[in-house]
Structure 1
Amino acid sequence: MKDFAISEDPAVQAQLDRLGALSLPQGRLGLDTVRELCRRLGNPQDRLPPVFHVAGTNGKGSTCTYLRFMLEAQGLKVHTATKPHLVRYNERIRLAGELISDDLLADLLKEALDAASNPDLGPDLEPSFFEVTTAALFLAFARVPADVCVIETGLGGRLDATNILAASACSGLATLGLDHEAFLLSPDPALPQEPLARIAFEKASIAKPGCPLVTLSYPTLAMETVRATAQAHEAPLFARGQAWDARIDDAIHYHDARGTLMLPLPTLAGTHQAENAALAVAMLRHQSAVAITPEAMAAGIRAARWPARLQRLGEGPLTARVPGRTVWLDGGHNPDAGLAIARHLAAQPPVHVIIGMLANKDPSAILGPLGTHALSISVVPAPGHDAHRPEDLAAHSALPVRSFADVDQALAALPTQGDVLIVGSLYLAGDVLRRNGEVPD
């Protein structure tokens, strides 16, 4: 099973099956294929409303969510592209505030896939899943009226399919950390060699000439790389600690050259969410395509929802297994995510950890920061993917590690006391939301 291959709509499923048969040709990197695919489709990426384009290791999806809710609080119609989806592929494309319909999704995927393999248009492009997805979302955004677009990159930024955009109202850079190293740190003597600097280069390369690049602050070498990359792209740089800043306590105290704002803390759990909200505010404050009032910013921060990011699960079939207890769900799987989860849970009671983690991820990224705050460790599969075995995780924990066929069984076997954290993979998180009846809308 592939994470994108299931839909209850037969027309969508037919196109997802075609997507599932695609693979990235060995050794092919670059944007030539997606550019040619979009050319065959009439270059929809050149006919979009103003775009806010966001990259980063962690926090980019949350930053996009804050942007969306603040823009919508201003009364604007917003197209949003985020990834990955948790339960339904439709979650990747939101049109004027609503998830794309099955009928339109099926039509656009078919149009993009047909254009890639139509001999009358040229040789078969053999596009990847991500290239077809990007072409389809550009078609949707170009054809359905809206005031603004918010687009999240996938891996990296420089070679991400969304980076064929010629311009943006504003580019944003969230947290930087090590993840997807096999792709983002592939050897290239012409590029920065220090790992975090290379990550910074890849992600900051979404910068566009004359378009503001708004960033957080980073370690010295990474910040120097971001600055050099912005300069190379002729993009004005607005970095935290220099062009803007935010102090976070019981509110977000935001400050830049235009003045000071006091904004509410997000309802989303975790102190890092206030940092993501501040970045979104800074992006809105350093662009000129749309005007957003402080009142709309505050309303958007309060209203923002983003599933599977320290989400407290509601009542449902899974949480009924552990009545009266808090069940946290987070798709985190890298060191930055592990630290953010641990910081939040430090003020909460200890938790039983149920973890399903892809085999190519480091278990210590999550289990290490949790430390003694973990009451027990239960291992479950990451649905549809190769996952770590119990013995793999046992090496990273002083606690005994038990194995279960799924989250339902793991919850049922827990002791009668103690809250719960389900963590390790967005694929696992999507399965949990589906099983608990909390499908994102």
Structure 2
Amino acid sequence: MTTAPAETAAQEIDKLLSLHPKGFDLSLDRIRALLDKLDNPQDRLPPVIHIAGTNGKGSASAFCRAILEAAGLRVHVHTSPHLVRWHERYRMAGQDGEPGALVDDAVLADAVRRVAEANGGATITVFEILTAVTFVLFSEHPADVAIIEVGLGGRFDATNVIAKPAVSLIMPISLDHQAYLGDRVELIAAEKAGIMKRGCAVVIGHQEEDAARETLVAIAERQGCPTTIFGQDFFAHEEHGRLVYQDEFGLVDLPLPRLVGRHQYANAGAAIRAVKAAGFLVDNDAIEKGLTGVKWAGRMQRLTEGHLLDPLPKGSELWLDGGHNPGAGQVIAEAFATLEERNPRPLYLVVGMLSTKDPIGYFSAFKGLAKSVFTVAIANSDAALDPLVLADDAIDAGLTAEPVSDIVDALDRIGGLAGGEIAPRVLIGGSLYLVGEALELNGTLPD
């Protein structure tokens, strides 16, 4: 177990937060102006796998990285948001056969200072500055490929200044961030499709909504993009405890991915297809090694050590997942239903959510599955829902719910309730920020 060290980079970013807004102001004008002052580092990147979608972006990034590194390639990765430390947004490619690692603090601090100096105090969001930092870091350190995850939307996201990605990967789309992206799934799909570039390869992952898939396909066709579509051009499903993947190159029998949940089968399939569409020659051994070695903190992550397990009965399962919209709630609930089939035990939820989310939509997926919900505030967030309001939302969704003071209080109560039962299964979720808080409390920081 580890604790976060004092970090110069965090201090530099705190200075920016005092000067600039932390949220989103979707536009490409400011980021382009800043990048121009930095001599356009986004034009000096290795081949880019650019990933958008409502759910599954992080898993797809993790699968792509694991497969590419297993093939011996040097891989940069940009994801957001972070769980505990800003450094998690920047995974730098390893050199001389070493795997990648989170950016060194001094390297990140220096890049942040240089970007802030180039910006010169001009109006901009912190996310835009940190995206410019991504391009600076990834252009200055050698790698064979860069995986870059969209922050919000696609068309006007700050990452969308990449002129010719090796592939644009669109993961599952559902309703989220409606205030920014629209209140219909086809409108959101159109925003996500904004990362497609004329003539560049596109991979469309599994889409539950026909309207989303049809919108994505239509835009890809208008852009003249070579396009492969899950369920039409490539497939991934479980069969006899194995993952069967198939595309135009043939059928491959693979181990199930290390990441938990049936939704990860399609996520893994999309990542495999994206790596191939980007032009990387990965053999089946690399794919197999990537699927079994992949790690992704805060997404169906089971804690097996740490302080948060102390209040729970011996043998309890403690899980984390930062999914926070109805689509995520559905796949998380399905994952726990599968666990329940294999090993029945009472499920308790500890949930905190931001006020921009749809709590009832999220909670509804757990009706008949979760025994009880304990709602909590999210530390250091002015945008979090009041636990009282959140508990009412859970009750409206058909669950038993109670507001409590914090994560530790919730686990203490679950430990007391479960004392005479089968050791419980507990999910802490509803927000990546809450999951980050849990990891920090537990002393198990992402690496």
Q: Same fold (TM over 0.5)?
A: yes
Q: 1:101 aligns with which of 104, 118, 122?
A: 104
Residues 165-201 of structure 1: per-residue CA shift (max 9 Å, x gap): 011111101101001111111xxxxxxxx71111111
The 3-state SS of whatever aligns with 1:164 is coil
Distance 1:26 1:318, change over 3 A: closer
- Structure 1 letter corresponding to 2:430: G
| Matched residue, 1:190 | none
Q: CA deviation at 1:231?
A: 2.5
Distance 1:214 1:138 in 2: 23
Q: CA deviation at 1:217?
A: 4.2
Structure 1 residues 64-213: aligned runs within 5 Å: 64-96=61-93, 97-117=100-120, 124-185=121-182, 195-213=184-202
Name the residue aligned to 1:242: 232
Please say if 1:319 is aligned against 2:309: yes
Rate the CA distance shift 1:27–1:13 in 2: closer, same or farther, 3 A. closer
| Contact kept in structure 2, 1:353 and 1:378, CA below 8 Å | yes
* Residue 86 of structure 1, CA deviation: 0.4
Change (3 A) 1:237 1:382: same
Q: Provide structure 2 residue ranges, at least 5 long, that are not aligned to the other structure.
A: 94-99
User: For the structure 1 residues 72 and 388, does the alpha-carbon distance in structure 2 shift closer, same or farther, using more than 3 Å as the test?
Assistant: same
Check conservation: 2:167, 2:203, Cα contact below 8 A: yes
Is 1:430 matched up with 2:433? no
Aligned with residue 260 of structure 1, among 251, 258, 263: 251
Q: For the Cα contact (< 8 Å) 2:49–2:169, is it kept in 1? A: yes
CA distance in 2, matches of 1:73, 1:55: 23
Tell me if the contact between 1:25 and 1:126 (Cα under 8 Å) persists in the aligned partners. no
Shift of 1:403: 2.4
Report the alpha carbon displacement of residue 37 of structure 1 after superposing the two structures with TM.
Answer: 0.6
Bigger mean CA offset, 195-204 vs 401-410: 401-410
Question: In the alignment, residue 407 of structure 2 is paired with which amino acid?
Answer: V
SS in 2 for 1:162: coil
Counterpart amino acid of 2:27?
A: G
For 1:120, the equivalent position in structure 2 comes to none
Amino acid at match of 2:66: F
Q: Per the alignment, in what secondary structure is the counterpart of residue 159 of structure 1?
A: coil
Distance in 1 of aligned mates of 2:373 and 2:229: 40
Structure 1 residues 224 and 367: alpha-carbon distance in aligned structure 2, compared to 1, 3 A threshold: closer
- Contact 1:367/1:396, CA 8 A, preserved across alignment: yes
- Comparing 159-168 with 251-260, which one deviates more in the overlay? 251-260
- Cα displacement (A) at 1:315: 1.3
Tell me, what secondary structure is at the counterpart of 1:340? Answer: helix
Partner residue of 1:188?
none
- Please give the alpha-carbon distance, in whole angstroms, between the structure 1 residues aligned to 2:23 and 2:316: 48
Which letter does structure 2 place at the counterpart of 1:389?
Answer: P
Alpha-carbon deviations, 1:109-136, whole Å to 9, x = none?
A: 111111111xxxxxx5311111101100
Moved more, 161-170 or 345-354: 345-354
The corresponding residue for 1:191 is none
**Offset, 1:404:** 2.2
Superimposed CA distance per residue, residues 55-106 of structure 1 (whole angstroms, 9 cap, x where no aligned partner): 1000011001000000000011100001110010000001011100110111
Q: Does 1:357 align with 2:346?
A: no
Question: Counterparts in 2 of 1:14-25, with a 5 A limit?
Answer: 14-23=11-20
Where structure 1 has 5 or more consecutive residues not aligned to the other structure, the ranges are 1-5, 118-123, 186-193
Count residues in correspondence. Answer: 421
Asked whether 1:215 is paired with 2:213, we answer: no
Which residue of structure 1 aligns with residue 371 of structure 2? 375
Which deviations, in whole Å up to 9, do the C-alpha atoms of 1:305-364 show, x marking residues without a partner? 111111111211111111320011111110111001110111323311111111222222
* Residue from 209, 220, 230 that aligns with 2:220: 230
Tell me, what secondary structure is at the counterpart of 2:260?
coil
Judge conservation of contact 2:374–2:401 (CA < 8 Å) in 1: yes
**C-alpha deviation, 1:26, in angstroms:** 11
Q: CA deviation at 1:400?
A: 4.4
Report how far residue 22 of structure 1 moved.
4.2
Change (3 A) 1:199 1:439: same
Percent sequence identity is 39
Aligned match of 2:296 in 306, 321, 324?
Answer: 306
1:224, 1:254 → 2: CA distance?
A: 23
Alpha-carbon distance in 1 for matches of 2:82, 2:405? 23
**How far apart, CA to CA, are the structure 2 residues paired with 1:14 and 1:287?**
37
Indicate which of 256, 260, 263 corresponds to 1:272: 263
Q: Are positions 1:409 and 2:409 aligned together? A: yes
Letter in 1 for 2:391: L
Cα distance, 1:43–1:178 mapped onto 2, change above 3 Å: same
- Cα deviation digits, residues 214-262 of structure 1 (max 9, x gap): 0124333322211221133332211112222223232221112221111
Shift of the alpha carbon at 1:388?
Answer: 3.2
Q: CA deviation at 1:13?
A: 3.1
Query: C-alpha distance in 2, partners of 1:25/1:310?
Result: 27
Give the match's secondary structure for 1:396: helix
1:282 is matched with: 273
Native 8 Å contact 1:22 1:128 kept in 2: no
Contact residue 363 and residue 393 of structure 1 kept, 8 A: no
